[in-house]
């Protein structure tokens, strides 16, 4: 089976990195804990006058490269491969691509190893990636694009995607992924 795996969220800990930098850089400003996050895009949970500072952190040199690996992610990916599944790292770069694109490749090389670099599929529209009836594991609540997806979207669980209207979708973490996907 093909298993497409999103990077930010399922593999790379975007949330904790952002929050650590935010609180260090602006210790007197408000901050929102992960449990209280409601919107997929971090800046949308904050007042508009803070959006530029938030984006500057995420677009900054080293932000993507230094994201920690989510617990259990590496083991899960390697297990998928060992079970014979075709795993693709399906990631969408920021429109402000200057640091993000290169650093996503470097992140994979650093944390997963060189062989995994060949499994990166980077593009804005994930619906045009042929999932061949398999899965896309992604924390984004709704994934739209120009095609009808050939994969089933499985939510990687985060507080901001716990939305009642999405309760029909499968939801997993790296602790229960094999039960949820029944593989
Ligand atoms: Mg993501």
Q: How buried is residue 167: exposed, middle or buried, by Cβ count under 10 Å (0-12/13-18/19+)?
A: exposed
Kindly list the catalytic residues.
6, 8
Residue 139 alpha carbon to ligand 1 centre in Å = 5
Bridge-based pairing state of the strands 135-138 and 2-5: parallel
At 87 the pLDDT is 98
Residue 165 alpha carbon to ligand 1 centre in Å = 19
Measured between alpha carbons, how far is 15 from 20 in angstroms, rounded to an integer? 9
Q: What percent of the chain has pLDDT over 90?
A: 100
Residue 136 alpha carbon to ligand 1 centre in Å = 11
Residues of the chain falling short of pLDDT 70: none
At 51 the pLDDT is 98
Bridge-based pairing state of the strands 152-156 and 135-138: parallel
Residue 28 alpha carbon to ligand 1 centre in Å = 28
Copy the structure tokens of residue 52.
Answer: 């530029």
- Which DSSP symbol is given to 82? H
At 61 the pLDDT is 98
Residue 8 alpha carbon to ligand 1 centre in Å = 4
Copy the structure tokens of residue 83.
Answer: 């079970």
């Amino acid at each position: 089976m093909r298993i497409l795996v999103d990077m930010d969220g399922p593999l790379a800990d975007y949330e904790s990195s952002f929050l650590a930098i935010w609180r260090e850089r602006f210790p007197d400003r408000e901050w929102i804990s992960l449990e209280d996050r409601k919107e997929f895009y971090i800046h949308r949970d904050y007042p508009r006058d803070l959006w530029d500072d938030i984006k500057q952190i995420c677009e900054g040199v080293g932000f993507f490269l230094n994201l920690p690996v989510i617990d259990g992610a590496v083991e899960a990916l390697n297990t998928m491969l060992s079970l014979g599944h075709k795993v693709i790292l399906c990631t969408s770069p920021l429109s402000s691509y200057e640091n993000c694109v290169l650093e996503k490749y470097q992140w994979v090389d650093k944390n997963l190893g060189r062989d995994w670099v060949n499994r990166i599929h980077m593009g804005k529209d994930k619906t045009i990636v042929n999932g061949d009836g398999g899965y896309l594991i992604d924390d984004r609540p709704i994934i739209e694009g120009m095609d009808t997806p050939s994969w089933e979207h499985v939510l990687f669980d985060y507080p901001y995607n716990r939305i009642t209207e999405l309760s029909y979708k499968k939801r997993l973490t790296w602790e229960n992924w094999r039960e949820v996907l029944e593989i």
